[in-house]
Structure 1
Amino acid sequence: MKNSHVYISVVHYPAVNKDKKWVVTSFTTLDFHDIARPARTYELGGYYIVQPLEAQQFVISEQIKYWTEGFGSTFNPRRAEAAKLVRLVSSITEAMEQIEKETGKIPKLIATSAKKYPQTVSYKEMAEIIRKKDDVFLILMGTGWGMPEELVGSCDYVLEPILGTGDYNHLSVRNASAIILDRLFSPNR
């Protein structure tokens, strides 16, 4: 696949709530396909769901099985194809270790945020860096009220915020993922 050196993840922990306290957010079944499908469309190497809670992991595992081995795999083969990219991990570190094992390289972390950081880059700059294929990348998509500033600040890159025409800035992780992947990989950019 053309962009197999790039992975995306939805980070349920660490996340912050509106009071900036660290929390674990809940997985939603909509995130499964609505991020797996664009990940497949833009030919990414995989889609990691970072969820440490066992009860949530059970739900996610069952959904993966349903779409890759169960009835869903034959009922809707196109969705099953995208579901094959989905991987469940307990932490960002575990995702990084799996990517390193698969590619032989430690992935560079690309954070997403509604704020600018010192290492914020434009989509055009990041697309050029990715296109060189010198490194492997893991895009971190926050949930809840975003990722902790400590995590975002520790990443190699932070993508510029997605801005609308006004001051409202509260996209779902599904919407943001699709916009970001299109900005980074669309041949029409």
Structure 2
Amino acid sequence: MKVAGRRLAIALVHYPVLHKDGHVVTSALTNIDVHDLSRSARTYGCSDFFIVHPVEVQRELATRIVTHWTEGSSAQRIPDRKEALSVVRAVPTLESAVEALAGEGGERVTVWVTAAREIGTSITFETARKALAGEGGPILLVFGTGWGLAPSVTSNADAVIEPIAGVGDWNHLSVRAACAIALDRLRRP
């Protein structure tokens, strides 16, 4: 699927992310994140969905999940899922995702991070949508697991996207819901 504007990819980072007490940790991969974020990525025209995990066994698990839906019995039963899961790439680091997205030509990749709370100056979805619709290299939209991306990730990003806010004072969306909302806000006309 070719979408007008800049190439967009997403990444789900499992390290470095925060524990609820603020320490940097590695979180575990979940089957539902692989499945649902790939469907959102495909629905909104993302070229890639990078699962960022430093533990090889967890990357192998991601590959087994993808293989089940792209080559296994589920590929025949539900072919639409095969197409969605085809965008998944398991990589050990966020830098690996950026390098893969840059490709052999070494295009400059713009990295936007997300957070459930204010973490400094952010750009609005409207501003980001306009930048995405314009000219330029690929954009990698980064989501964190656990209690969010570690400061080492957010401080090195090109931009922080404004948090998604609900109607009350409670804000703890699943990463699956946050990804779908963010992609909808970025890609809607």
Which residue of structure 1 aligns with residue 150 of structure 2? 148
Structure 1 residues 155 and 69 mapped into 2: Cα distance closer, same or farther (>3 Å)? same
Structure 1 residues not aligned, in runs of 5+: none
Cα shift readout 1:124-150 (whole Å, capped 9, x = no counterpart): 000000100312110110110001123
SS in 1 for 2:180: helix
C-alpha distance after superposition, 1:141-186 (max 9, x if no partner): 0110001123212100111011111111111110100000001002
Which of these residues, 28, 31, 47, is aligned with residue 29 of structure 1? 31
Aligned residues: 187
Secondary structure, in 3 states, of the residue corresponding to 2:67? helix
Separation in 1, partners of 2:168, 2:131: 30
Q: Secondary structure at the match of 2:111?
A: strand
Kindly report which structure 2 residues correspond to 1:69-148, keeping only aligned pairs within 5 A, or say none.
69-101=71-103, 104-148=106-150
Q: Deviations over 1:76-131 (max 9, x none)?
A: 11000000001100100111111111664131110001233444100000000010
Amino acid at match of 2:118: K
More strand by share: 1
- Out of 28, 35, 48, which is 2:50 matched to? 48
Aligned with 2:21: secondary structure? coil
The CA RMSD over aligned residues, in Å, is 1.5
- With structure 1 as the length reference, what TM-score do the two structures score? 0.94
Structure 1, 79-88 or 93-102: larger mean CA deviation? 93-102
Percent identity between the aligned chains? Answer: 36
Structure 2 residue aligned with 1:2:
3
**What is the CA–CA distance in structure 1 between the aligned matches of 2:105 and 2:181, rounded to whole Å?**
26
Unaligned runs of 5+ in 2: none
Distance in 2 between residues matched to 1:114 and 1:68, nearest whole Å: 32
What CA deviation, in whole Å up to 9, does each residue of 1:47-90 have, x standing for no partner? 00001112212211111111122222221110000000011001
Q: Does 1:179 align with 2:172?
A: no
**Are the aligned partners of 1:5 and 1:133 in contact in 2 as well (CA < 8 Å)?**
no
Q: Structure 1 runs of 4+ off > 6 angstroms?
A: none
| SS of equivalent residue, structure 1 residue 20 | coil
